[in-house]
Structures are given as structure tokens and as C-alpha cells.
Amino acid sequence: MEAKVAHDWRLRGQRYRLEGEVCEHCGAKIFPPRDICPHCHQPARKPQTFSGKGEVYTFSTVQSPPQGFERYVPYTVALVKLEEGPVVTAQLTDVAPQDVKIGMPVEMVTRRLYTQNDESTITYGYKFRPVLR
């Protein structure tokens, strides 16, 4: 259990604030953060907090979930292209699967991701919802 808490603590910036990096060598915006830029293969350690605004690039509705996510079926997972460029994989929330469209504007929200076994340890993180107009 301690290892899980430490792991979640290290990821809090990217899970709650969409913290990534900008490569100082080529300018690539990177999410999630990595030690090496995937574009120019140089060290990338300059922090960048992304806006959380983007659009649905593509999506799929999950009908046969992995173990532990059965109670959420059906749910939609999307590739969201952030305004700054990176593409993020995330669950969509506050929208029926049949209402999701490619190109739909979305924004990041913090929501429960899952509950760890019967110990009631709740893990929160980012999901995306349609932009409220």
C-alpha cells in the first residue's frame, strides 16, 4: 500500500494540473513528462502546465472493461489533442457515449479515477468533459 501512495504522490502534478515539459532544445511540448524528448532525444526538464483545453481527436466506447472497471461500463476513452499540441489519453465524463464527436471541444476536470480494493483508497486524476457554453 505504501508504494501505491508514494507513486500517486509523485504523479500529483500531472494528474491534477496537467504538468508536462517543454524541450529546451527543440521546443516540443511533452505530456506526460519524460527525461528525454521523444522528438530530438535531448534532455527535457523544463516544466510546462498545460491549459487543459483541447478537442477529441478520436475515441472509443468501452463495453468490455479491464478488471476493476466493470461498474463504469459503458464509458468513453478518447485521445484529446491539447491546444498546446500534445495528445492525451483520457476518459470522457459528463457526456453520453452517443453524443461524443471527433473535433468536440473539451476541458480537463479532476474526477475519481478508481477506488483501490476494499480499503477505500480513492485515486483522483484528470478526465475531460465537453466545454460548457
Query: What are 71-88's pLDDT values in tens digits?
Result: 888 999 999 999 999 999
Res. 131: pLDDT tops 90: yes
Whether pTM > 0.85 for this model: the answer is no
Instruction: List the grid coordinates of 46.
Output: 523544463
Tell me phi and psi for residue 117, to 5 degrees. 35, -150
Rounded Cα distance between 90 and 87, Å, is 10
CB 37, CB 26: distance < 8 Å: yes
Tell me phi and psi for residue 63, to 5 degrees. -110, -30
Paired sense of beta strands 29-30 and 19-22, if any: antiparallel
Rounded Cα distance between 41 and 8, Å, is 27
- Domain range for 7 is 2-130
Tally of structural domains, the chain: 1
